[in-house]
Amino acid sequence: MKRFFFARNLREKTLLVAFVSLVAIVWLISATGRTRARLADWRSLRSSGEEQRLWLSNHAEIEARAAKATAQLDAAKTLNGTRLVAEMSTLAAQAGLTAEVSGQRSERTTQFAFHSAQVSFRRAEMGALVKFYESLSARSPYVGLEQVSLAADRGAPGAINATFRVTAAELQR
């Protein structure tokens, strides 16, 4: 390789050195980016580990508080998926709204089953939506509001299209 390099004229030597230098610079920039990414991943992993250690060190307190909170719940007030849909329709009717309930899904744990549904209102008045929200809030902690999306209806001035993601907890005993 050395013999090949020295056999070249000055112009070719200069171009070869420039090309090798350019390749080295590109590689160093790329290596720096990869190193930064790995360092950020390591910091994130360390932070996650510290958070997990904190949760595990407070395990007994968390379990005690969860047991106390579970004991205070009334199993008769918890809602299964079907009762959640019926309850949302009833609350909407009481607020003077027509609801479209869809997107039902359930997640189960050892003590609870969490049922969620999407409740949509088209061309609703803001007062009726507030009334629906207040009656929904009164059902807490058995029913909770997870997500709200509001949009003005372009076809009806003063009307709002609203979508609520509602979650209900069912006590599994």
Give me the pLDDT at residue 173, please.
Answer: 64
pLDDT (tens place) for every residue of the chain, 173 residues total: 778 877 888 888 888 889 999 999 999 999 999 999 999 999 999 999 999 999 999 999 998 988 887 777 777 777 888 888 888 899 999 999 988 988 888 888 887 888 999 999 999 999 999 999 999 998 888 888 999 999 998 888 888 999 999 998 887 76
Whole-model pTM: value is 0.61
Tell which CATH architecture fits domain 75-171.
Answer: 2-Layer Sandwich (3.30)
Q: How far apart are CA 112 and CA 171, in angstroms?
A: 5
**What does 51-100 look like in DSSP terms, one character per residue?**
HHHHHHHTHHHHHHHHHHHHHHS-GGG---HHHHHHHHHHHHHHTT---E
Domain ranges of the chain: 2-55, 75-171
Greatest C-alpha distance within the chain: 93
Give me the pLDDT at residue 150, please.
Answer: 92
Give me the pLDDT at residue 111, please.
Answer: 77
